[in-house]
Amino acid sequence: MIRSLRCLIAPAVALIAVLAAVQPAAAANIQRVVSPGGIEAWLVQEPSLPLVALNFAFVGGSSEDPADKPGVAYMVSSLLDDGAGELDAKAFQQRVEENAVELRFSATQDYFYGSIRLLRDRREQSFDLLRLALNQPRFDADAVGRVRDQILAGLRRETTDPGSIANRAWWRTAFPDHPYGRPTGGTLTSIPTIAADDLRTYAGRVLTRDTLKIAAVGDIDPATLGQILDRVFGSLPATGKRVGMPDAAVRDSGRRIVTQLNVPQAVVRLGGAGIMRKDPDFIPAFVVNHILGGGSFSSRLYDEVREKRGLAYGVYSYLLTLRHAAMFMAGTQTQADSTREALELIESQIRRMGDEGPTEAELAKAKAYLKGSYALNFDTSTKIASILLQNQLDDLGIDYIDKRNGLIDAVTIEDARRAAKRLAEGGMLVTVVGQPKGLASKEPGG
């Protein structure tokens, strides 16, 4: 559950001014810190910042939910800061507010994430709240009941939301026999069955030191960080009992599922096989996707669907890499009368990119943009911590930030054409929700 209870205006202004000079160059000063107890973190120390941002993750998000109880990880993430140790929910949140702490937890298919952002002079009190949340969550009956009701209310709203319906249908169809096919947020039937014991069992299995990755940015030195790592994370179980999960591939590529819903616009989701993060073709595919649909106002999809024909306000594509599967995704939202034309345009542009690849001019422009805009990812301590954490999860190496632009610059037109062909050749599973005119469900090859 996201908690952001006090606006730190003055520190935020100072942060932006300082980090304008830091940018990716600060990442060149990444230090690998190992605590006395053996817990590792990556640190960017910046004494001029009055803040500390610390991000962390454990392997095992919603994929570790019991098969018959999707939503356990999501409920745990929503309840860790709703009472811990001797502090009930009200007392815990009062301490959070008094110390101006931003404390967040979340779960994706693969990871359970946490982050804390705190003032330098409230460091001890703030990190102690994180220690309590991770090591002594209460899962009190009243808090569990309140969060359960909030989640159920959100799930009921999703039953009439076309985007939610399209997304759930896509994942359920793409991964029918795999944990990725289960909804991270649970279902209307699963959430009522999740009890406090399920939450405690999940936390004991997943919140363990063996898969823990940590990144810190701000006014904290390596020795102090090492002591804090041991105090906050040192009492967690050394190892967990995670479910073994196989690699998976998108099923039913070429299938289209149309769900009728009485809404003004139709939502379109497409997805097919992508390229794994450590694959040599990932960086070429990343550049190709920017040209096709990831470059917002400069992409081919935006030009064809929005600019030339005005069929939608937005259209996009992106690469999604999970631990056990890689996807190439695209989508839009458009009027019922325009749905068929918009979908056919998206599909034709994907085929064209696969057949021809990008032009030399498009490749040069995309590379220049992707290299030049990279510094925008380093304008806050939270962003830097997030990038350092993700680089650890992707096993890219502590020097990846220094190497990244060189990898993009090295992409040749042959690399780009090869990656484009790989993205397009497998076909796409399509889900459409709304009242599209002249568009029906079809089976692969139909």
| Tens-place pLDDT, residues 127-177 | 999 999 999 999 999 999 999 999 999 999 999 999 999 999 999 999 999
Nearest C-alpha neighbor of 314 from the set 296, 300, 329:
296
Task: Give the strand pairing for 213-218 and 40-45.
Answer: parallel
Rounded to the nearest integer, the mean pLDDT of the chain is 93
In 3-state terms the chain splits into helix, strand, coil percentages (rounded to 5) of 50, 20, 30
Residue 352 backbone dihedrals phi, psi, to 5 degrees: -60, -45
Residue 308 in this model has a pLDDT that exceeds 80? yes
Q: Are 71 and 186 in contact (CB under 8 A)?
A: yes
User: Rounded to a whole number, what is the distance in angstroms from the first to the last CA of the chain?
Assistant: 44
Equal fold, 3-233 vs 256-434: yes
Nearest C-alpha neighbor of 338 from the set 258, 266, 235:
266
How many Å apart are CA 310 and CA 302, to the nearest integer? 9
Which pLDDT tens digit goes with each residue over 39-91?
999 999 999 889 999 999 999 999 999 999 999 999 999 999 999 999 999 99
- The model's confidence at residue 235, banded by pLDDT at 50, 70 and 90, is very high
Which pLDDT tens digit goes with each residue over 198-218?
999 999 999 999 999 999 999
Residue 26 in this model has a pLDDT that exceeds 80? no
Q: What angle do CA 89, 93, 99 make, to 5 degrees?
A: 150
Buried b / exposed e over 154-164, threshold 16 CB at 10 Å, is ebeebeeebeb
Q: Are 379 and 2 in contact (CB under 8 A)?
A: no
Residue 15 in this model has a pLDDT that exceeds 70? no
How many Å apart are CA 31 and CA 29, to the nearest integer? 6
**Can you tell me whether residue 215 is helix, strand or coil?**
strand
Which pLDDT tens digit goes with each residue over 256-298?
999 999 999 999 999 999 999 999 999 999 999 999 999 778 8
Model pLDDT, residue 27: 52
Considering the four listed CATH numbers 3.30.56.10, 1.10.4190.10, 3.30.830.10, 2.160.20.60, the one that applies to the domain covering 256-434 is: 3.30.830.10
- Return the percentage of the chain with pLDDT > 70, whole number: 94
- The model's confidence at residue 244, banded by pLDDT at 50, 70 and 90, is confident
Q: Nearest 10 degrees: CA dihedral of 147, 150, 151, 157?
A: 180
Which pLDDT tens digit goes with each residue over 392-436?
999 999 999 999 999 999 999 999 999 999 999 989 999 999 999
Q: What angle do CA 253, 258, 262 make, to 5 degrees?
A: 155
How many Å apart are CA 338 and CA 335, to the nearest integer? 5
Q: Where are the chain's structural domains?
A: 3-233, 256-434
**Can you tell me whether residue 335 is helix, strand or coil?**
strand
- Tracing tokens 């809404």 back to the chain, one arrives at 263
Model pLDDT, residue 296: 74
3-state secondary structure 245-288: CCCCCCCCCCCEEEEECCCCEEEEEEEEECCCCCCCCHHHHHHH
Which one-letter amino acid corresponds to residue 27? A
Residue 335 backbone dihedrals phi, psi, to 5 degrees: -65, 155
How many Å apart are CA 241 and CA 24, to the nearest integer? 37
Cβ contacts of 26 within 8 Å, gap of 6 or more: 19, 44, 46, 378, 384
What does DSSP assign to residue 140?
Answer: -
Taking each helix axis as running N to C, give the angle between helix 196-206 and helix 72-79, from 0 to 180 degrees, rounded to the nearest 10.
90
Please tell me the CATH superfamily of domain 3-233, with its number: Metalloenzyme, LuxS/M16 peptidase-like (3.30.830.10)
Model pLDDT, residue 131: 98
| Helices and strands, counts by H and E, the chain | 15, 12
Model pLDDT, residue 295: 79
How many Å apart are CA 387 and CA 417, to the nearest integer? 28
Buried b / exposed e over 334-368, threshold 16 CB at 10 Å, is bbbebbbbbbebbbebbeebbeebbeeebbebbbe
Model pLDDT, residue 243: 86
Model pLDDT, residue 411: 98
How many Å apart are CA 402 and CA 386, to the nearest integer? 16
- Tracing tokens 């454990």 back to the chain, one arrives at 58
- Tracing tokens 């990725």 back to the chain, one arrives at 180
Ordered DSSP codes for 378-403: GSSHHHHHHHHHHHHHTT--TTHHHH
